[in-house]
């Protein structure tokens, strides 16, 4: 299997240089799209490249990336937040399953699950979120019984609001970051130059 390379070249905004993108493909239908490079000293001083990747709304129909030249001074209006440390779900669930539930599930879901657990007679009779949590408990800790799971879910509900980094806080921060990214990309589309690559 060998890789073939193709180059796409377009004129830069000042017209004295080029923007080059090197792409690779092989006999197996694999394709690697290279990041464009500004090969013009003047434009490299004034512009930076910003990419915006889109995924098809139809599963299996791929994705594509638009590249923009934007003035180097263009920055997001808001800083992206990253207030909470990364959580290894497997390690956390093994250490403290109630804490895992606080990080991984909304409080409203935990409350619904708790109500269902109080009326359940066996794990096999659980539905939707309760069934998913029971599967998580079995996968991460090796066992799952109603009498083990019910107090853990109650502990998660009781500790949810005071826990720094609960599901709601993480979700709120993620939504703020998504909104900030969308606002920045709107500025990029407005003030940037879309590259025809």
pLDDT tens by residue, 48-100: 999 998 887 777 777 889 999 999 999 888 888 888 988 898 899 999 999 99
Distance in angstroms (rounded) separating the CA atoms of residues 181 and 197: 23
Asked whether residue 103 is assigned to any structural domain, the reply reads yes
pLDDT, residue 197, reads: 85
Structure tokens at 47: 């512009």
Ranking 12-26, 32-46, 55-69, 98-112 by mean pLDDT, the lowest is 55-69
Q: What is the pLDDT of residue 103?
A: 97
184, part of any domain: yes
Please tell me the predicted confidence (pLDDT) of residue 2. 85
Alpha-carbon gap, residue 82 to 98, rounded angstroms: 23
How many distinct structural domains can be found in the chain? 2
In a domain, 36, yes or no: yes
Please check whether residue 169 lies inside any domain of the structure: no
Q: DSSP label at 124?
A: G
Return the percentage of the chain with pLDDT > 90, whole number.
Answer: 80
Residue 71's domain comprises: 3-75+177-194
Residue 81 is encoded by which pair of tokens? 């937040």
pLDDT at position 174, please?
94
Report which of 96, 102, 112, 80 is spatially closest to residue 163, judged by C-alpha positions: 102
Q: Are residues 29 and 71 in the same domain?
A: yes
Task: Tell me if 132 is assigned to some domain.
Answer: yes
Residues 96 and 43 in one domain: no
Query: Are residues 154 and 111 part of one domain?
Result: yes
pLDDT at 1 over 70: no
Are 158 and 190 members of one domain? Answer: no
Question: Do 67 and 110 reside in the same domain of the chain?
Answer: no
For residue 16, pLDDT over 70 is answered with: yes
Q: Does residue 59 sit in the same domain as residue 114?
A: no
Q: Do the domain assignments include residue 172?
A: no
Mean pLDDT, residues 154-180 taken together: 96
pLDDT computed for residue 30 by the predictor: 87
Tell me, yes or no, whether 42 and 17 share the same domain.
Answer: yes
Average pLDDT, stretch 146-155?
96
Supply the pLDDT for residue 58.
77
80 assigned to some structural domain: no
User: Which of 73-87, 143-157, 162-176 is least confident?
Assistant: 73-87
Is residue 109 domain-shared with residue 44, that is, in the same domain?
no
């Amino acid at each position: 299997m060998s890789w073939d390379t193709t180059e796409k070249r377009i004129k830069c905004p000042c017209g004295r240089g080029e923007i080059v993108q090197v792409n690779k493909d092989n006999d197996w239908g694999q394709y690697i799209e290279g990041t464009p490079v500004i090969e013009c000293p003047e434009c490299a001083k004034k512009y930076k490249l910003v990419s915006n990747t889109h995924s098809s709304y139809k599963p299996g129909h791929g994705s594509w990336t638009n590249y923009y030249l934007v003035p180097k001074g263009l920055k997001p209006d808001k800083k992206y937040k990253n207030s909470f440390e990364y959580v290894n779900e497997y390690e956390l669930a093994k250490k403290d399953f109630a804490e895992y539930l606080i990080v991984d599930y909304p409080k409203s879901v935990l409350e619904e699950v708790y109500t269902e657990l109080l009326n359940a007679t066996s794990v096999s009779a659980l539905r939707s979120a309760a069934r998913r949590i029971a599967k998580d408990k079995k996968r991460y800790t090796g066992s799952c019984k109603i009498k083990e799971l019910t107090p853990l879910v109650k502990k998660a509900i009781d500790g949810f609001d005071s826990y720094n980094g609960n599901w709601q806080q993480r979700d709120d921060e993620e939504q703020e970051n998504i909104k900030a990214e969308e606002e920045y990309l709107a500025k990029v589309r407005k003030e940037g130059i879309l590259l025809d690559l």
